[in-house]
Amino acid sequence: MTERSVGYVETKHHHLKEPFRLVSGDELAEVSIAYETYGKLNSDKSNVILICHALTGDAHAAGWHEEDKKPGWWDVVIGPGKAFDTNKYFVICSNVLGGCKGTTGPASTNPQSGLPYGLSFPRVTIEDMVNLQHTLLNNLGISSLYAIAGGSMGGMQVLQWAVSYPGFMKRAIVLASTAISSPQQIAFNEVARQAIIRDPYWNDGDYYGGQLPKQGLSLARMIGHITYLSDDSMHDKFGRDIRENEMFQVESYLHHQGDTFTSRFDPNSYLYLTGAVDNFDLSNGFSLAKSFSNIESEFMVISVSSDWLYPSYQSEEIVQALGSNDINVQYRKLISHFGHDAFLLEKGQLNYLLSTFLGHLTVGDVMSEDVSTLREGCTLEEAAQLMILKNATHIPILDASGRITGIVTSWDITGAVANKISSIEKILSRDILTSHPDENLSSAALIMEDHAISALPVVDERGCLVGILSSDTISAMVGRGAK
């Protein structure tokens, strides 16, 4: 356990006193909600962040339970000094309705019969999950969110939150998700469901107290894991290595993932939750932009370059629909070979992107104010000497009032020497991109990436140089996030 961990945590349970009404009109009595919290709630309850989990996740998003062999599923971004900084924020994550990790679902006892619900459990939707989360927050005395975040099925919940309760949260973060489940996604889920249903022990979902349909659930999990990875990640992780039992390593991995999954997940919950994912369509068969017309939250949408389960075009459709409603939205793509699972694994990129969006980290927060400069009229020799003395690669050129008029780089000087150029004016760059201290850091970083530059001068409202932002600074921040 590291100093950036939230430490040991416990899952709490909230029991609703009144029946919970579903979108379908069905009601559930004696609903229980499992949830965990990290950090401290401030006096005006304005620092709350809700985390929404993916298909097979749970409320245990961070920290350690006494019996844990590994921390919560999103521990890489939740904790002191991480993106969801528990020194600043009060973070909540609850198990979804229909799940099997403490919140009422098909494996729960039906109070009317005294037996597990099984397939008598009513159909649930992503909207039902969100409504139950909203009920939980209200019962905890929380009337607004600073932010809400989730990936995959969790991202669907975030989008549903923004549509159903548009004024409830200030910021919304959607990772590796979609607003409309595609035929391919539905197809993979159907194959997984059929694996469960065709297990000889499924018994029409009434297997409680008897033999579980483990083979079917294991196969469903194996199918899922294939879609969570990428071709590159499989090559890197497994190659064509063969284990002692003469199985390819990838085969052994899939068998292990399937077998261990059967000890922690209910097959009926898998059926219900994949069904909710398949039926998710915020366009309502018409226009996604129209469905987003009342959204008030600022958005960050993140896709993964190698994700073929939730490909980037689906995130881009969300961005386009938000933008058509003049909603403030930032779009970023994780460059990763991990596939869909990158939203759980890319510690450095995630912490950088999420923390800058949540905290509105600005250029002024991280720029270097110790900038080596030269005045107009300087010589090529003076620039070279200053670069060597200060170990600098970029030297801004200023006029008498401190305004930046040009910039010279170490590459410019190398080229000048090679081409026997003696005048600095012949290599000086006059067409300069600049930033300002109040600019969002992620926006400035995107400018640097788009124009393939490693340093960005920072100027005030008069055009006077006040600092410089380097790619090394940004890389260092990403590196700190990865620790």
Known binding site for substrate: residues?
Answer: 221, 341
Is residue 305 part of the annotated active site? The answer reads no
Q: Which of 152, 303, 312, 470 is catalytic?
A: 152
Pick from 77, 73, 6: nearest CA to 40 = 6
Task: Please indicate whether residue 206 is annotated as part of the active site.
Answer: no
**AA letter at 244:** E
Q: Is 152 a catalytic residue?
A: yes
Residue 69 in 3-state DSSP? coil
The answer to whether 119 and 23 are in contact (CB under 8 A) is no
| Burial label, 128 (beta-carbon count in 10 A; 0-12, 13-18, 19+) | buried
The enclosing H or E element of 192 equals helix 183-197
Which is catalytic among the residues 128, 266, 307, 412? Answer: 307
Query: Of these residues, 269, 340, 435, 470, which one is catalytic?
Result: 340
Between helices 183-197 and 214-228, what is the axis angle to 10°?
160
DSSP state of 40: -
Q: Which helix (H) or strand (E) holds 226?
A: helix 214-228
Rg, C-alpha atoms of the chain: 26
SS3 14: strand
Q: Using alpha carbons only, what angle is made at residue 419 by residues 414 and 422, rounded to the nearest 5 degrees?
A: 80
Report d(CA 37, CA 141) in Å as an integer. 14
Binding residues: 221, 341
Give catalytic residue positions.
Answer: 152, 307, 340
